[in-house]
Structure 1
Amino acid sequence: MSLTSAATLATLDKTGPRRITDLAVAEGVTQPAMTVLVRVMEEAGLVERKGDPSDRRVTLVCLTEAGASYVRTRRQAGIDAYARMIDELTGDEVEALAAALPALLRLAELESHAREESDR
């Protein structure tokens, strides 16, 4: 699976159903490229298109259970990989990493806020 496909699935998991145009902006690709990507993921059973109940002219891209399962599996694989690497650190390195967590969490918060602002 391409990085853009995986990122798109993660975006849908995090934000819920989105328009193709919104997904294209969020992932930094053109609308036609996102349309093709969504079609491929739809054929793979990872996403589906549904009408927007608030505006019948709009079609939303939604994760299927298979798509959500893929995101969960990929996320868990990342967690497991980091856990294995952390197990290789010395005690001092683990302490330094733990001390850095508040700053890392703040960076993630700032990045999320910046992404929300750019989506508007």
Structure 2
Amino acid sequence: MRRLPRDMSLTSAATLATLDKTGPRRITDLAVAEGVTQPAMTVLVRVMEESGLVERTTDPSDKRVTLVCLTEAGASYVRTRRQAGVDAYARLIDELTGDEVKTLEAALPALLRLAELESPTRDEPER
């Protein structure tokens, strides 16, 4: 993925991916999740909002709270970047020997479990 050309910062792309995985979030929650300050995330959200990738909405359960959520353009961006990563890995895997592919296949359950442990669910707050 790091070899692919980027049209936005890694923090912006990671924020979009977080919103895609977890659903709408408060700016303060996004700042914590991405390891940046709240003012920096506010600026980042404003830029992504101006680009049409995210929008701010009112939390239905608490009208005082503003949530950041993906727009269709933001979700499409995440899907496109994710597919680009899949395609890049597929090209690399095509260069492996049969034994190396079998080794990767054997490791998949453990790798999936690691990803599961690392990623919060939509219902679970980030730690």
Structure holding more helix per residue = 1
Question: Which residue number in structure 1 is paired with residue 41 of structure 2?
Answer: 34
**1:103 and 2:101 are equivalent in the alignment:** no
CA RMSD of aligned residues (A): 1.5
In structure 1, what residue type is equivalent to 2:11? Answer: T
Q: 2:94 aligns with which of 87, 103, 116?
A: 87
Q: 1:117 to 1:46 in 2, by over 3 A?
A: closer
- Separation of aligned partners in 1, 2:63 and 2:100: 55
1:15-63 deviation digits (Å, cap 9, x = unpaired)? 1100000000000100000000000000000000011111111000010
Gaps of 5+ in 2: 1-7
In structure 2, what residue type is equivalent to 1:73? Answer: T
**1:51 and 2:58 are equivalent in the alignment:** yes
> What is the DSSP-based 3-state SS (H/G/I as helix, E as strand, rest coil) of the residue aligned with 1:4?
helix
Give the length in aligned residue pairs: 118
Structure 1 ranges of 4+ moved more than 6 A: none
Gaps of 5+ in 1: none
- What percent of counterpart residues are identical? 89
1:50-91 deviation digits (Å, cap 9, x = unpaired)? 111111110000100000000000000000000000000000
- Separation of aligned partners in 2, 1:48 and 1:112: 23
